[in-house]
């Protein structure tokens, strides 16, 4: 009977080792999954426009025609992230467009400090679900903006609103936040 | 002759050899080197209680500051450090280690195993915990102070705007995570491989079942927590941009990843409580648990649902309507299996021959008060009204009802229930009922008015408030001090019980069931060296 128990113990230990291996594998897989959520989230947001992020690449010129039956108000907001001594503002606060109509608006930026600074504007669209219908043909946010001390610049944004924009959206707010990326990513 | 053979085998088998050594060790060495599940269980339980008092002391300072409107005792920044560390300590230092302590003590005895499957890892998983909390608490004495961004450490508050102790916070959380993961692996391996012959899965005591499922939740989400704090660390110190919009990251993504961990985490803290209460109510109602298998399935469904409801913590972050509806309905769905459990407990008590010893008192209080916490949870699950409740004291009231009168009360219930088995003495029923009634009255004085404060719009995590909240806050603070002091009665009960008292029989509760009551009280250092036989009738 005792030897029976002893055998039982041995099989238990062999089984335990197998279980431990599987569980450790799960732990590492879940650690990886945590990081995999980062690209997954980006893909998910690209498809759904969940986080109000607009496309980071230039759109093609609109060829679908203009829907003159609708008028969309596009508002522009700018704000500075903590610690960037720039003046940065849209040169017009809002513009009325028909879906499909291409418009050009300008933003003014000035480096008010005595040192060279590289800025990066990050766009965000509200309501978030309008983000995928906001098409930018040309945008200063596609690139970083290096400005020398006291230098100023007018930056262009060329865009159109997709004709597929949901019926109940009549106002789109485009917000730019300007960040100081000097010395962060040189590209 | 046979014994000789076995002894020889034993000396080859390091685990066995160590067990025999354990007996001879005394003093500090016994506790440092122990691989015995009962010793480690005791260590976990004492550690959890010390952390409960530490976290409680921080809460006392918070309540002292909030006793009156205006700033009188602490600076706002220090207040933020208090709320942050209070939350972290109670979650990772008090509730979770207490349940792991129960698991260590009881699971091997409940399934008829001689010890946990991995005794050395067991020692390791406990002994790294004090270091984690030494790091966390030590940051109070640093120049910048302890972490001040809330236990949920939302980015960019915890990255761009954090103070100098963020790295210490991250490493402390890493260590806590490693400890929990090792503990969870140990439990799963023990339950899967070391059950006594004849104990099928559906014959396991419910506490074993709930902790089994909890352990799976732990190994699934603690690595995600480790991942998210690692991202936080690299964002803060190494220039990555996981959560930094300037570099293409997204601060809202932090909340998604955090709550993907955070929501299963809240079930990690309540499922073992369900198990404890499901053990105690039948014992004092002197009836079999109503609906054993439905309890098991309900636990499993809650665990599954906990993975698809995380964004209900984020209704106000600007989700699309479809997302809000999806997470709202999934969250409300959790009320179904939870309701099954509550009705099962009530049905178990129905027409039972109930007696009201302290474990039963705490269990009944658990059923009623946890249900209140569940209902306020349902209210919070409703997207439209959540916009009003979000970040108010209503949320604080909700999670303290489920965590204090839920998890903590179940821990007390379990502690009283098994104290005779642990110490070999009966605790003082009189002192214990003082503990219960003082706690019950003060805890409701403490948390119930918070519902009204929240509905009236008092925001959480703020050291000052508008004058109209003054009266309620005064009562809340008085309740808080009374509740804190009441816990010292528990300390007195336990010390008294360890030192002496009426000798406990092997089975002090006549309605109790389970293998742990078949061994003597106090439980011998080694139990079930030969597996018990499980009779088919159960």
Label residue B536 by pLDDT band (50, 70, 90).
low
Label residue B361 by pLDDT band (50, 70, 90).
very high
- Residues across chain B: 538
For residue B192, pLDDT over 80 is answered with yes
Q: What is the pLDDT of residue B18?
A: 43
Question: How does pLDDT run across B43-62, given as a tens digit for each residue?
Answer: 999 999 999 999 999 999 99
Query: pTM above the 0.90 mark?
Result: no
Q: What is the pLDDT of residue B356?
A: 96
DSSP A91: S
Of the residues B37, B195, B313, B400, only one is catalytic, namely B313
Q: State the ipTM, two decimals.
A: 0.85
| Better-scored residue on pLDDT, B5 or B302 | B302
Lowest model confidence (mean pLDDT) among B22-26, B83-87, B510-514: B22-26
Whether B193 and A19 lie within 8 Å, measured CB to CB: yes
Q: Provide the shortest C-alpha distance from residue B276 to chain A (in Å).
A: 25
Q: What is the pLDDT of residue B23?
A: 56
Whether B188 and A38 lie within 8 Å, measured CB to CB: no
Q: Which of B281, B467, B316 is nearest to B395 (CA)?
A: B316
Q: Provide the shortest C-alpha distance from residue A165 to chain B (in Å).
A: 15
Whether B219 and A30 lie within 8 Å, measured CB to CB: yes
Q: What is the pLDDT of residue B244?
A: 84
Average pLDDT, chain B: 92
Cis check for the bond before A129: say yes or no (omega within 30 of 0): no
Element (H, E) at B174: helix B166-193
Is B293 within 8 Å of chain A by CB?
Answer: no
Q: Annotate B261-273 with three-state secondary structure.
A: HHHHHHHHCCHHH
Whether A23 and B185 lie within 8 Å, measured CB to CB: yes
Distance linking the first and last C-alpha atoms of chain A: 74
Residues B87 and B62: their CA atoms lie apart, in Å, by 12
Contacts of B531 in chain A (CB under 8 A): 5, 8
Q: What is the pLDDT of residue B17?
A: 41
- Searching chain B, which residue's CA lies closest to the CA of residue A141? B246
Q: What is the pLDDT of residue B146?
A: 94
- Searching chain A, which residue's CA lies closest to the CA of residue B9? A6
Q: What is the pLDDT of residue A66?
A: 84
* Of residues A27, A45, A82, nearest to B160 (C-beta): A82
Buried-exposed string B59-70: b where 16+ CB fall within 10 A, e elsewhere:
bbebbebbbbee
- Searching chain A, which residue's CA lies closest to the CA of residue B532? A5
Q: What is the pLDDT of residue B51?
A: 97
Is residue B263 part of the annotated active site? The answer reads yes
* Of residues B189, B197, B225, nearest to A16 (C-beta): B189
Q: Which of A29, A26, A28, A38 is nearest to B234 (CA)?
A: A38
Residues A100 and A72: their CA atoms lie apart, in Å, by 10
- pLDDT tens per residue, chain A (187 residues)? 455 666 777 788 888 899 999 999 999 999 999 999 999 988 887 776 666 677 767 777 767 778 888 899 999 999 888 778 889 989 989 999 999 888 899 999 999 888 888 888 888 888 877 888 888 888 888 888 888 888 889 998 999 888 888 888 899 999 998 888 887 655 4
Compute CA distances A75 → A67, A107, A138, B3, B136, whole Å: 19, 13, 17, 87, 46
Question: How does pLDDT run across B470-510, given as a tens digit for each residue?
Answer: 999 999 999 999 999 999 999 999 999 999 889 999 999 99
Question: How does pLDDT run across B294-324, given as a tens digit for each residue?
Answer: 999 999 999 999 999 999 999 998 888 888 9
Buried-exposed string B247-270: b where 16+ CB fall within 10 A, e elsewhere:
bebbbbbbbbbbbbbbbbbbbbbb
Whether B2 and A3 lie within 8 Å, measured CB to CB: yes
| Better-scored residue on pLDDT, A6 or B145 | B145
SS3 B122: helix
Compute CA distances B333 → A91, A103, B298, B340, B346, whole Å: 50, 48, 12, 12, 21
Residues B479 and A146: their CA atoms lie apart, in Å, by 59
Distance linking the first and last C-alpha atoms of chain B: 38
Question: How does pLDDT run across B64-94, given as a tens digit for each residue?
Answer: 999 999 999 999 999 999 999 999 999 999 9
Label residue B164 by pLDDT band (50, 70, 90).
confident
Lowest model confidence (mean pLDDT) among A50-54, B16-20, B366-370, B465-469: B16-20
For residue B8, pLDDT over 60 is answered with no
Instruction: Express as a percent the part of chain B with pLDDT over 70.
Output: 95
For residue B407, pLDDT over 50 is answered with yes
Q: Between the ranges A39-48, A150-159, B25-34, B274-283, where is the mean pLDDT highest?
A: B274-283
Q: What is the pLDDT of residue A187?
A: 44
Neighbouring residues of B50: CB distance < 8 A, sequence distance ≥ 6: none
């Amino acid at each position: 009977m005792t030897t029976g128990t002893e055998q039982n113990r041995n099989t238990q230990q062999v089984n335990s080792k197998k279980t431990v291996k599987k569980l450790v594998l799960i732990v590492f897989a879940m650690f990886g999954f945590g990081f995999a959520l980062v690209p997954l989230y980006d893909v998910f947001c690209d498809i759904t426009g969940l986080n109000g992020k607009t496309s980071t690449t230039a759109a093609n010129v609109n060829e679908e025609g203009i829907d003159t039956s609708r008028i969309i108000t596009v508002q522009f907001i700018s704000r500075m992230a903590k610690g960037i001594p720039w003046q940065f503002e849209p040169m017009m606060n809002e513009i009325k467009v028909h879906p499909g109509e291409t418009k050009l608006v300008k933003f003014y930026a000035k480096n008010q400090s005595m040192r060279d600074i590289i800025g990066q504007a990050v766009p965000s669209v509200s309501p978030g679900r309008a983000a995928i219908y906001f098409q930018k043909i040309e945008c200063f946010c596609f690139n970083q903006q290096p400005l020398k001390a006291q230098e100023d610049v007018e930056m262009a944004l060329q865009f159109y609103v997709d004709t597929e924009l949901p019926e109940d959206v009549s106002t789109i707010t485009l917000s730019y936040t300007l960040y100081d990326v000097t010395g962060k990513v040189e590209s | 002759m046979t014994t000789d053979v076995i002894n020889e085998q034993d000396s080859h088998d390091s685990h066995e050899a160590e067990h025999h050594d354990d007996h001879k060790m005394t003093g500090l060495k016994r506790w440092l080197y122990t691989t015995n599940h009962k010793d480690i269980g005791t260590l976990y339980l004492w550690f959890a209680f010390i952390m409960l008092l530490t976290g409680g002391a921080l809460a006392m300072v918070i309540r002292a500051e909030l006793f009156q409107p205006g700033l009188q005792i602490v600076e706002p920044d220090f207040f933020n450090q208090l709320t942050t560390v209070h939350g972290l300590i109670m979650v990772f230092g008090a509730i979770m280690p207490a349940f792991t302590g129960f698991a260590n003590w009881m699971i091997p005895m409940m399934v008829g195993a001689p010890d946990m499957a991995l005794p050395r890892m067991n020692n390791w998983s406990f002994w790294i915990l004090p270091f984690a909390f030494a790091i966390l608490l030590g940051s109070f004495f640093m120049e910048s102070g302890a972490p001040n961004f809330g236990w949920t450490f939302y980015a960019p508050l915890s990255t761009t705007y954090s103070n100098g102790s963020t790295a210490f916070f991250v490493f402390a959380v890493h260590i806590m995570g490693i400890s929990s993961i090792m503990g969870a692996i140990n439990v799963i391996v023990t339950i899967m491989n070391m059950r006594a012959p004849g104990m099928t899965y559906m014959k396991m005591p419910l506490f074993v079942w709930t902790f089994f499922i909890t352990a799976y939740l732990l190994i699934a989400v603690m690595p995600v927590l480790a991942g998210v704090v690692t991202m936080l660390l690299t964002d803060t110190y190494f220039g990555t941009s996981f959560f930094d919009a300037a570099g293409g990251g997204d601060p809202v993504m932090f909340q998604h990843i955090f709550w993907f961990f955070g929501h299963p985490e809240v079930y990690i803290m309540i499922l073992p409580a369900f198990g404890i209460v499901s053990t105690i109510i039948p014992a004092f109602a002197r009836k079999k648990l109503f609906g054993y298998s439905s309890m098991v399935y309900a636990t499993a469904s809650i665990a599954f649902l906990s993975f698809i409801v995380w964004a209900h913590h984020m209704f106000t972050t600007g989700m699309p309507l479809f997302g809000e509806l999806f997470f709202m309905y999934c969250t409300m769905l959790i009320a179904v299996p939870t309701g099954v459990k509550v009705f099962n407990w009530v049905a178990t008590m129905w027409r039972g021959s109930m007696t009201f010893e302290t474990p039963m008192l705490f269990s009944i209080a658990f059923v009623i008060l946890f249900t209140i916490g569940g209902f306020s949870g349902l209210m919070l699950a409703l997207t439209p009204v959540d916009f009003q409740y979000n970040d108010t004291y209503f949320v604080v009231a909700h999670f303290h009802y489920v965590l204090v009168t839920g998890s903590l009360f179940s821990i007390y219930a379990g502690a009283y229930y098994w104290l005779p088995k642990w110490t070999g003495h009966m605790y003082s029923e009189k002192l214990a009922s003082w503990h219960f009634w003082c706690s019950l009255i003060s805890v409701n004085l403490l948390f119930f008015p918070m519902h009204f404060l929240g509905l009236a719009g008092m925001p959480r995590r703020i050291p000052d408030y508008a004058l109209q909240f003054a009266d309620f806050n005064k009562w809340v603070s008085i309740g808080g001090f009374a509740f804190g002091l009441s816990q010292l009665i528990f300390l007195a009960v336990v010390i008294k019980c360890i030192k002496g008292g009426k000798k406990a029989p092997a089975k002090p509760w006549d309605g109790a069931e389970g293998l742990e009551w078949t061994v003597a009280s106090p439980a011998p250092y080694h139990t079930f060296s030969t597996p018990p036989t499980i009779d088919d009738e159960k």
